[in-house]
Structure 1
Amino acid sequence: MIKIILGFKRRQGMGFQEFKDYRRDVHAPLLFAIPEAKKIRRFVVNYAVSAPDFPEPTYDAVVEAWFDNLQDLNTLYSCENFLTKVDPDHINFIDLSSVGRVIVEEIVVVE
């Protein structure tokens, strides 16, 4: 199993709740409407919370998406539907200069 982890901040001028609502109500339906999104095995969105005694979060959200293999991940991110329908929407709620990503093989240590 392969996972992509994406961290990002909301676009300037957008409130945190507005950011969460936009991602849930506008962006997620765009993504999951394309047939290639069926390659996603699991999808989790993690929103930052303020925690006393810890530094301010680097990101407003971290997204995790699991795929059976690297080919399935590449199929989604390089398909015409993603490139023309989903990817252009990112600018509407994400500070694109803040995006960090890593592709990993997940090893569960404690369950």
Structure 2
Amino acid sequence: MLKFTFLIHRLEGMSREDFVQYHRNIHAPLFMSIPETEKYVRKYVVSHPVDVAGFPPATYDAITDIYFSSMDDYNSFFASENYQLKVHPDEKNFFKLDEVISQVSDEKIVK
């Protein structure tokens, strides 16, 4: 499996609470609602930093991990009409599209 990690900054003027609420309760269900998610996505995780004493403040407002079986599945998902017309347009409502950092990994669970 291939793991695609996206590091995201929220929009200027959007509170952390509003950002997390939108990401978890609006965008994630929208992402899950298209049939291509069931067909191509193996795992979808949204993570939001928490403040913990002794740790520096987070650099990003969210980490989204999306797992696919192959690059073909990744390409098919993101090229799909449902993603392009329903999910992608929503992204600009809560995060800075031009500041997303992405990475592709071959995850190995050790424990």
Instruction: State the TM-score, normalized to the length of structure 1.
Output: 0.90
1:91 Cα offset (Å): 0.7
Q: Which amino acid aligns with 1:8?
A: I
Q: Which residue of 1 aligns with 2:64?
A: 63
Q: Structure 1: which 4+ aligned runs deviate by more than 6 Å? A: none
Q: Which residue of 2 aligns with 1:19?
A: 19
How many residues were matched structurally?
A: 110
Any residues of structure 2 matched to 1:1-111 within 5 Å, and which? 1-38=1-38, 39-108=40-109, 110-111=110-111
Deviations along 1:11-57, one digit per CA (max 9) or x if unpaired, are: 11111111111112211122111111111111111111223343321
Deviations along 1:38-95, one digit per CA (max 9) or x if unpaired, are: 1111111111122334332111110111111111111111111111111111110002
Q: Which amino acid aligns with 1:18?
A: D
Q: Structure 1: any 5+ residue segments left out of the alignment?
A: none
Q: 1:73 and 1:88 mapped to 2: Cα distance?
A: 18
Q: 1:106 and 1:77 mapped to 2: Cα distance?
A: 21
Which deviates the most, 79-88 or 54-63? 54-63
Root-mean-square deviation (CA), in Å? 1.3
Q: 1:86 and 1:6 mapped to 2: Cα distance?
A: 15
Residue aligned with 1:106, SS:
coil
Residue aligned with 2:19, SS:
helix
